[in-house]
Structure 1
Amino acid sequence: MHKSLFPAPLPDVATDAVALARPLDWVGMDGMALPIRLANTGGLPMLVPASVDVAVNLGDAGARGIHMSRLYLQLQQGLANEALGAPSLRRLLEACITSQNGLAARARLRLRFDQLLLRKALLSDNAGWKRYPVEVEAELHEGHLRLTLGFSVDYSSTCPASAALSRQANAQRFFEDFAGPRPLSTEEVRDWLASERGMAATPHAQRSRADVRVELKPAFDELPLAALVDAVEAALGTPVQTAVKREDEQAFALANAANLMFCEDAARRVASVLAGDARIGVWSARVAHFESLHPHDAVASVGGRNP
């Protein structure tokens, strides 16, 4: 039987002497494709694809590198087997540090994935799934877990200035059509308003997006994604819809008329939610209105720290 020319053990150049030796702040891997376990709206677990970044510090100046394969295997098992939350992230980060056999004292994870939430229609009995881009960052250092949650909410924004100009154009047309000195019945006015003549102009509206980022206080173990999304959407008043019948579309038009807003108004609405949430420490929000009037976007940002 032919003997191997290269018998075990396999070479490990990670143990070679280090040139320009010094500790490193972070070493790891970015953009790993891994499944993570989430609890859906019904409480049942589900696996979703995620892009994962992981890093540990390299505190030993004499060590050439960390054990990256150990990190990958820890993540592959831990993210798929336990539902995502503060306790599971803490255990996973502790395992990442332990896997390095004394080379590391802190660890960091970033997870990017899409959360699907089932949303009811405004009036009809229908419901549909809506996608929310999510980013979770967890860092463990000296036993302290810092947990940051980011997500995006799409909504509709109708321009208050455009609405005022449209109302003026509609009033002017009404004056022109009924300028004669004759009495008008409510039925005649109603029919005119329901006709094409009754809409001389319409305000411009556009799909918009709020990007929210919050650092959670240590006392809270859960990731309150659904609750924060609900609160932000309620404050904005015009979240985009999924399953839509005619009655839902009309209700959406009414909601837009009742929630006219510039990007500045939208930013303040989101800020009012984040600033009043006891689960949140540091927070920030950025809104962007993807203008239909202009070829550029209108944006506003705001941030703060809760006591």
Structure 2
Amino acid sequence: MPDVAVDPALGGQLAWVGMERIATPVRIDAGGSTTLQVIASVDAFVNLVRTDRRGIHMSRLYRLIDEHLGAEPISTVMLERLLRAFLQSQHGLADRARLRLRFEQPVRRMALRSGQDGWRVYPVTIEATMEHGDMDVSLAIEVTYSSTCPASAALARQVITEHFARRFPSPDPVPRDAALAWLDSEQGIAATPHAQRSMAYVWTRLAHGSAWDAPALIDRVEASLGTPVQAMVKREDEQAFALANGSNLMFCEDAARRIQQALETDDGIADFHIRVEHQESLHAHNAVAQARKALTPRA
């Protein structure tokens, strides 16, 4: 059968050639020594160093993806094996390989108080690149959380204080029952701080030899923020969530620094980039902050 890929090339070397958005089932770590099968979107690339060849063997990349990704849970060892197979399949044509996987990580989450649970899913991206025999792996996650504005909370407290003073103008002590009744009424909460759904986009580059662990990274980011969105929610859970928000007032700058501090001392992370986005309920625009790993300056 004719193979036009061996025809003389029309130009120079190509940085990357391959396929994007290949849908394939993969097995991922679900925590607690268990795995789950999910559908991933896979991008596969190699470079093309031969100027006398028109193209690469894309079908070989596809076959290798099908063979490797469904055979065992994703790990750094498996990704390295797959990238080496990519290069072997393109012998003489390529000396670099890249693989990107996007999927949603399901995690079972307990409610805050009721003892019930439900599923949360988190977008995850894993990217592995091999060049000169060395592999570089990055892991990126997205975490949704709630953020309550500290300035808005202070303004709300001021309004409540002023309303209390007008309701009880006498300098004499206010009877406890009267104060509690007022606080429990709608007049007792004359103003509320504004809160918004917020997003944390966290990219990490793994240190050499470190294994990736998406559930652990998600847990660490959520713990640093204190107000992740919930799955199963009953009234007692909603009350606990309101309490958590009141105890974790944060600007976008605060959120970025909290995540930064949570990741800074992890030796398994060589580098990271954080972007938090507070989707404002007050403004028509978003508030955004970014942070990086504080890399040690060279002498």
The two structures share one fold, judged by TM-score above 0.5: yes
Match of 1:149 among 126, 139, 147: 139
- SS of the residue corresponding to residue 232 of structure 1 reads helix
Q: Is the 8 A contact 2:7 2:52 kept in 1?
A: no
Residue by residue over 1:208-258, the C-alpha shift from the partner in whole angstroms, topping out at 9 and shown as x without a partner, is 0000000000121x2121111111111111111110111111111111011
How many Å apart are 1:182 and its aligned residue?
4.0
**2:275 equivalent to 1:286:** yes
Change in CA separation of 1:80 and 1:199 when aligned onto 2, cut-off 3 Å: same
Paired residues of 1:121 and 1:241 also in contact (CA < 8 A): yes
Q: Which moved more, 1:176-185 or 1:112-121?
A: 176-185
**Equivalent position amino acid for 1:72 in 2:** Y
Residues 147-186 of structure 1: pairs in structure 2 closer than 5 A? 147-186=137-176
The equivalent position to 1:109 in structure 2, one of 86, 99, 105, is 99
Distance 2:171 2:100 in 1: 71
Match of residue 11, structure 1, among 2, 25, 31 = 2
TM norm structure 1: 0.93
Which amino acid is the alignment partner of residue 161 of structure 2? A
1:283–1:305 Cα contact (<8 Å) kept: no
TM-superposed CA distance for 1:39, in Å, is 2.4
1:45 and 1:205 map into 2 onto residues whose CA distance is 35
Residue 149 of structure 2 contacts residue 194 of structure 2 at CA under 8 Å; is this kept in 1? Answer: yes
Q: Residue 98 of structure 2 aligns to a residue in which SS?
A: strand
Answer with 1 or 2: which has the greater Rg: 1
Q: Rate the CA distance shift 1:50–1:39 in 2: closer, same or farther, 3 A.
A: same
Query: In the TM superposition, what are the counterparts of 1:223-302 in structure 2 within 5 Å?
Result: 223-302=212-291
Asked if 1:204 is matched to 2:194, the reply is yes
Amino acid at match of 1:12: D
Cα pair distance change 1:18/1:76, threshold 3 Å: same
SS of residue in 1 equivalent to 2:293 = strand
1:35 to 25, 28, 35: 25
Q: Amino acid of the residue matched to residue 15 of structure 1?
A: V
For the residues of structure 2 that align with 1:150 and 1:102, how far apart are their CA atoms?
32
For residues 60 and 69 of structure 2, the distance between their equivalents in structure 1, rounded to whole angstroms, comes to 14
Give the Å deviation of 1:185: 2.0
Q: Is the 8 A contact 2:27 2:74 kept in 1?
A: yes
Shift of 1:44: 2.9
Check the 8 A contact 1:154/1:210 in 2, yes or no.
Answer: yes
Is residue 99 from structure 1 mapped to residue 99 from structure 2 by the alignment?
A: no
Secondary structure, counterpart of 1:83 in structure 2: coil
Aligned residue for 1:174, secondary structure, equals helix
For residues 41 and 25 of structure 1, the distance between their equivalents in structure 2, rounded to whole angstroms, comes to 37
* Root-mean-square deviation (Å): 1.3
Count of residue pairs brought into register by the alignment = 296
Q: Distance in 1 between matches of 2:209 and 2:63?
A: 29
Whole-Å Cα distance in 1 between the matches of residues 279 and 142 of structure 2? 14
Contact 1:281 1:305 in 2 (8 A): no
Identity fraction in percent: 51
- Residues 196, 279 of structure 2: 8 Å contact kept: yes
| TM-superposed deviation, 1:41 | 2.9
